[in-house]
Every structure is written in structure tokens, then in C-alpha cells.
Amino acid sequence: MTRTTPRLRHALNGAGLVVILVIAGVVAHTTPSREQQEAAIPVHGEVGETVEGRNIRATVNDVRIAESVEASNGWAGPTSGVWVVVDASVEARVTDLATLGYARIKVGDVTYSASTRPDQATIAETGLSVGIPWTGPLMFELPLPLVSSDPARHAELQFAVSNDPRADSMLVMPVDLQAIDIDAVIETDEPVWGAR
């Protein structure tokens, strides 16, 4: 009753097993890691143009650098470095359950958050309205040597709703900090709600 399995069948079974193992290996090695799966989704744009993500729309109108800042509420932040002042308009697109919780500038491998020290004189961490922009300054405190370093030529502004942009849009706009003259002092405008 027993039958001898033909050699050809053995060979086919072996080949099938090898194919399955190869496919499994390719899948295992190309599957995105958890970090990659949860990473923010970058939306690239330029300074001066309106950039849109899932629930955020922003326009960076100007980028300036100064040794000191006089904010609209009278705050003046002393620093041993410099202030990078970003004038921007930011709004939500879909729902106002959103804040500008992620406003950062990346220079090389180092990332700086927009300062909240000026309190209401900046739009950092402002609650966003749907279709009604907040326009005002964001202030980043950077070491002086950094803005004249090579990585400063390829700095990036990064905006996202909430302070955790994972798995959501992150607006990314390149800026050449080296090309910007450093002023002695910058006076910033009061944040304005609505079209300016």
C-alpha cells in the first residue's frame, strides 16, 4: 500500500519551501518599524507659500534674526544667543480640536521649540480655529554660533497640531539662516485672529 514519493515531488516541495522562506525574509526586512509607522507625515513647502496638512494650514511670511526681541506685550527676552523670529499665519482645516503645539526649527541634528516665554505675544501653543488664521510671531532662541554654521543653511521650520505629530501631517519649510542678517533688536506685532 505504501508508495514511494517521486524525487520530483521532493524537489518541488523543497523549491516551494525556499520560495516561501525568501518571501518571508523580504517581507520581514521591508516591513516598516513601529517608529516608521508612527512617524509624522512631512508636507514640504516654501517660506512665503501656503502649506496644508491634514488639519493645519500655515504660511510663513518672514524669518528674521535679532540679538534681542521686544514683544508686543512688553516682554523682552534676554539671551546670550540670538532670536529667530518667524512671522506666520496658522489655522486648522477640519476641526478646532487643535493647537499649534509643535512649532520647531531644526538645525542639523538639533531641534528647538518655539519659546513660550513671551506668553500671549506669540502664537506658540495657540488654539487653532478652522478657517480663521492666527497671525503673529514665533520666537526661537538659538546659540549664536549655530546660525552661522553650515547646517544653518539647511534649517527646517516644522509645524504640526498638538505637541505629538506622530501619524499626522507635519509642515516642513526650509530656511537658510546664514543668509539672514542679524538685527540688533526686533519688535514683534501682536498676534491677530482673523484675516490680516
Partner 1 sequence: MKRWLRRNWIGLIAVAVLLPATVGITFATQWTSYFSGRDSAPVSVAENTDFGFSTAEWRFVGSERISSESSEGQRIGLPAETALVVVTVRITPDGSPESPGCLVRLEELDRGADSRSWAESTYDPIDYSPTDGTQTYCPTDTTEPYVLESTFVVPADAVDGLGLSIVVPGELPQYLSFRL
Decide whether 166 or 196 has the Cβ nearer to partner 1: 196
193 forms part of the interface with partner 1 (CB under 8 A): yes
Residue among 41, 43, 82, 91 nearest 63 (CA): 82
Give me the 130-169 binding string for partner 1, x by CB under 8 A, dash otherwise.
xxx-------------------------------------
CB 60 within 8 A of CB 173: yes
The residue within the footprint of partner 1, chosen from 52, 96, 125, 156 (CB under 8 A), is 96
Chain centre distance of CA 165:
8
93 forms part of the interface with partner 1 (CB under 8 A): yes
> Which residues are within 8 A (CB) of 184 and not within 5 positions of it... i.e. 6 or more apart?
66, 67, 68
- Interface region with partner 1, contact rule CB under 8 A, candidates 31-39, 89-97, 162-170, 175-183: 89-97
Give the nearest distance from C-beta 193 to partner 1 in angstroms: 5
Decide whether 26 or 97 has the Cβ nearer to partner 1: 97
Three-class SS state of 47: coil
Chain centre distance of CA 59:
14
- CA–CA distance, 55 with 40 (Å, rounded to integer): 13
Q: Which residue has the cell 526586512?
A: 29
Decide whether 158 or 169 has the Cβ nearer to partner 1: 169
Binding residues for partner 1, per CB under 8 A?
93-97, 127, 129-132, 192-196
